[in-house]
Structure 1
């Protein structure tokens, strides 16, 4: 009587071709599952950052071009350089994204006194060598165009207590002189205000809008 062969392990029972075939089947099933379940896309951090930066640049360009035509039109009447007007709007409103700008169309941080036409908000001011947070009333405008017009009139006509306050801004023939005059006239408490304006103008080539 012939002896029964002991059962060995699977790889011992199968010949080499069968082992290869089994491996191919497993691989095929694995690939099929991947296709059916969907392969998770790889997130490229560099690509994501590039897309985000491109989106920000488009938003900045859109903000500039939305203000430039009106700033140029106002220059003909009030003689305020558009580059300075746009740069101030960028700094004061954080590219139109601040609550004051997005909700109340106040692009230039202009304060108000009448409760019916102003809003009480928190702001930061530079006093005695340090930044402090205060509550102050800011003017509310019906539109960005209205804010641009009010800004031009303020610089051209001065304040109620000093009609000549911004005369050197109006008289300036280049953005550097105008930015320096704004700081000297006390438009903002920031000791580096003129420097920041000039940097924004040169970074975004805003002087191309000056006539």
Structure 2
């Protein structure tokens, strides 16, 4: 009997010493599960956000593509160029100029009755500077798209031939280069951005049958 009592005491002591280890392991497991759960939640949230952005981008392209094709047939401007410029200039229709004034291309004007003064960034003397610009205000995005096409066809008030290289380009790469050389934008990376957007969203397919 005494031996049995000694054995029980040793067993109780052993269990007593194991309790901190069990608690420690439980905490580690719970922390690990929490970290894994948080990581999975973050991944899920990021996937959902990416999917939402892609949906919004596809919706924007679907919105402007039909009229871009119409203008391409009417004025000779490649639809891929029109769509890509609308994407870049309006930030997918989310810029203040696009949302509030339906100006998808950053087209400027001089008449106070149909323009709005807003801040914009331009690349001058090797650096980006913020300036105030007077931009056209439109009743809807189609009016903006049409004005953009007419600007490329008719040129500016000081040079009616300014964008003729763009109009006569046979493919989107040639047209994107011409936009840069003809002075449409001051951004030194404008050509590469246009080409990248066209290729990423396969906008070339909208050019079929235009030229």
TM-score (norm 2): 0.79
5+ long unaligned stretches in structure 2: 1-36
**Aligned-partner SS, 1:125:** strand
| Match among 149, 167, 170 for residue 170 of structure 1 | 167
Structure 1 residue aligned with 2:86: 89
Runs of 4+ in 1 over 4 A off after TM superposition: none
1:59 paired with 2:53, answer no
Alignment partners' CA distance in 2, 1:126 and 1:175: 24
1:206 paired with 2:203, answer yes
Structure 2 residue aligned with 1:180: 177
Structure 2 residue aligned with 1:193: 190
**Aligned-partner SS, 1:119:** strand
Alignment partners' CA distance in 1, 2:62 and 2:107: 22
What's the offset of the Cα at 1:160?
A: 1.4
Matched residues, number: 170
Alignment partners' CA distance in 1, 2:106 and 2:86: 9
Rg larger for: 1
**Aligned-partner SS, 1:61:** helix
| Match among 94, 103, 110 for residue 107 of structure 2 | 110
**Aligned-partner SS, 1:121:** strand
5+ long unaligned stretches in structure 1: 1-41
What's the offset of the Cα at 1:87?
A: 0.4
Alignment RMSD: 0.8
- Map Cα deviations across residues 99-143 of structure 1 (whole Å, 9 max, x no partner): 000110000001111111000100000000000000110000110
Alignment partners' CA distance in 2, 1:82 and 1:75: 6
Structure 2 residue aligned with 1:144: 141
Structure 2 residue aligned with 1:121: 118
Alignment partners' CA distance in 2, 1:144 and 1:119: 16
Higher helix share: 2
Alignment partners' CA distance in 2, 1:59 and 1:130: 32
Alignment partners' CA distance in 2, 1:169 and 1:178: 5
